[in-house]
Amino acid sequence: MKAITIRVAIAAALASGVALPNLASAFDFGKYVETQMANRAPALFGVNAPLASTAPVTPSTGYRNPSQSAADQIAAADGLTVEYVTRNAANHTDMMAFWPNDKAPSHLITCVESDLETLPNGKMNPSVQRINLITGQVDTLLRGMDGCDGIRRTPWGTILATEETDDGGAYEIIKPLATTENTVTNRAAGTISGPTAGNIVKRTALPTMAWEGLAVLPTGVIIAGDELRPGTAAPDVDGGAIFKFIPTAPRGVVGNIADLNDSPLVDGKVYAMQVSCTTGTQFGQGCEIGNAGWIEVAAANARGEADTKGATGYYRPEDLHQDIRYSNPSVPAAVRVCWTDTGNEGGKNYSEVVCAVDSNPLNTTGRTTVVNRFVEGDTDFNSFDNLDFQPRTGNLYVVEDHDNGDIFACLPDGADRDIKTDGCAKILSVKDTKAEPTGFIFIGDGSTAFVSIQHSDDTNMPAYDGFGTDDLIKITGFKVPGLR
């Protein structure tokens, strides 16, 4: 029933004294809004139309094969085109960073979330790779990390690659195009061997935890999450905390460093976020959103001290990104970061995106940070993992962490009363039932994105450099305001 028909029915009923009909059964306003959002997809999302449904189920084994096109791997919204960059990215290729910049990158530097192992060829597992965006050539920079996942290009011209495991560390790499075939030989000590091992150092001043998402600010401040589910060690133990590293010598200059000793990550302190849900100090279960302060913890025991000192825990914080469009003229130092909490769809915990505005990232005195939920999952859109803000539009793309996973685009919050996204639409869906999307990242103008198709069955695919492979896919055709 159209809105005008409802108004006529109401007016007639009031005039005649007849009881009003059950309008909820006649008109689903929520569905109406979703339909209007889909109809306006060209203006809202830069595609002709979103996907109506998730890609259908495919055989669980043997679907991936050498003769497939990229369109066989991922369904895309009308108006988008997909193509392979390479089919030789290492198995478990996850998050990625552009090099040398986001606007005109020549390479992707990628984290490979593989377990620690020695391969039949005698080499250790690939951990950080370099992928040429023109030729598709894949080279390995570093081996021997355990579950490399979070990776970022720093504002001072290095790569920071981190491990998603309980004792995960962080490694800083300079000159990534000139760094090849090095190996971590002792993770605890941070010992690295290889022809260009001097270009890599383990940053022990950063927290030891299961790294995934992270935001690296120009000052050297890092905000990152610990990928930990509540109750992992024992019942009622908190989930993963959000940590902040503040360097002893924050950077106040712009430009790349020439030596790793000049990095702000050499030394500093680590803090865990504690959210209070009152105007004073009240924290613990039920206080996941509100006003937050920061508690100092030891880098080497960041997870344990976060729990004992009362930091706020979340259900598996995964990817985390800075919203580069956010600004507050009255608080120029303020930054906004958003992260995913995966939850458990089997337990009806459908996931969430939480955002925090830190009014002064270099300060830890008082409650300087405000935390609120931005996206809440549902039966179709859940198990959030990776995310990325689309440049120019500010739309937040959120990636599901399960087989046949989808990628949704979520609108920024508008001028309405709430403080959540104005709506999300399905834009991409993995066709391989054995696989999931991950590492989604936009180029600097928002017109092109890249995604890794992870965990596919590789029975029919040849190995590369003695290791299984993933497909890296390029997605073009996003219509962005200001671009022809």
Q: How do residues 124-181 score in pLDDT, each as one tens digit?
A: 999 999 999 999 999 999 999 999 999 999 999 999 999 999 999 999 999 999 999 9
Is it the case that residue 21 has pLDDT exceeding 60?
no
Is it the case that residue 35 has pLDDT exceeding 60?
yes
Q: Count Cβ atoms below 10 Å from residue 179 Cβ, excluding itself.
A: 24
**Cα 59 to the chain's mean position, in Å?**
28
- The average confidence (pLDDT) of the chain is 93
Mean pLDDT of the region 371-397: 97
- State how far the Cα of 154 lies from the Cα of 237, in Å rounded to an integer: 33
Residue 297 token pair: 């913890």
pLDDT digits (tens, 9 = 90+) for 397-449: 999 999 899 999 999 999 999 999 999 999 999 999 999 999 999 999 999 99
- At residue 484, the pLDDT reads 58
Asked if the 40-476 domain carries CATH number 1.10.150.130, the reply is no
Q: How far is CA 476 from CA 83, 448, 450, in A?
A: 9, 5, 9
- At residue 22, the pLDDT reads 57
Residue 465's pLDDT band, with cuts at 50, 70 and 90, is very high
Q: How far is CA 208 from CA 298, 379, 423, in A?
A: 9, 34, 36
- Residue where the block lists tokens 């290889």: 194
Q: How far is CA 390 from CA 46, 101, 288, 447, in A?
A: 11, 15, 27, 9
What is the bridge-based pairing of β-strands 182-186 and 138-143?
Answer: parallel
Residue 17's pLDDT band, with cuts at 50, 70 and 90, is low
Element spanning 100, H or E = none
- Any idea where the domains of the chain sit in the sequence? 1-39, 40-476
- At residue 6, the pLDDT reads 40
The SS3 call for residue 116 is coil
Residue 195's pLDDT band, with cuts at 50, 70 and 90, is very high
Q: Which residues pair with residue 290 across a beta bridge? A: 371
**Cα 399 to the chain's mean position, in Å?**
8
- At residue 66, the pLDDT reads 96
- State how far the Cα of 40 lies from the Cα of 49, in Å rounded to an integer: 8
- State how far the Cα of 26 lies from the Cα of 10, in Å rounded to an integer: 12
Q: Of the ranges 230-239, 292-301, 356-365, which one carries the lowest mean pLDDT score?
A: 230-239
Residue 284's pLDDT band, with cuts at 50, 70 and 90, is confident
